[in-house]
Amino acid sequence: MIIQTMWWVDQEFDDNDTVAYAIFTVTPVRGKVRSASSRKPGEVQVSVKKNAQSTGCQIQIARDKKFKKSVKTIKTTNVRKTIKGLLHGKKYYVRVRNYKDVKTRYFKHWGVNDSVEETIYGKWSKVRTVVCK
């Protein structure tokens, strides 16, 4: 996981109070497909390398290499996932990326704060090919 930090100090208050701000940018590492195989007709089992710093992974399976036709996207926290409802005898392409759920807190004057939850995605893995039985 890549964490970038930026700090700065602001002195714009009437009481000459000093406020320090910090921005953290968190980027999950690139996902990795360990294996993609078809054991039953219409099903593909995808195994993903586990990353302890990520919340989970997003798996994409498609009929073409550019992921434009018949794309299915699945979000999971498991290492192994079975994707069903595929056409048997067809070639599919699989890729994976890690994601991290981050709670961002915004601190305002006099201790009042807001928080927002967002999902940050890493880069896609190399594409793996599998023929569905």
Count of residues for the chain? 133
Q: Is the dihedral of CA 105, 107, 108, 113 positive or negative?
A: positive
Hey, how many other C-beta atoms are within 10 angstroms of the C-beta on 79? 13
* Listed ranges 4-18, 43-57, 108-122; the one with the highest mean pLDDT: 43-57
- Mean pLDDT (the chain) is 84
pLDDT, tens digit, 9 for 90 and up, residues 22-60: 666 778 899 999 999 999 999 999 999 998 889 999 999
Q: Which residue has the higher pLDDT, 108 or 72?
A: 72
Q: What is the pTM of this model?
A: 0.78
Hey, how many other C-beta atoms are within 10 angstroms of the C-beta on 99? 19
Read off the pLDDT of each residue in 101-118 and give the average, rounded to a whole number.
Answer: 70
What are 122's two structure tokens? 């890493």
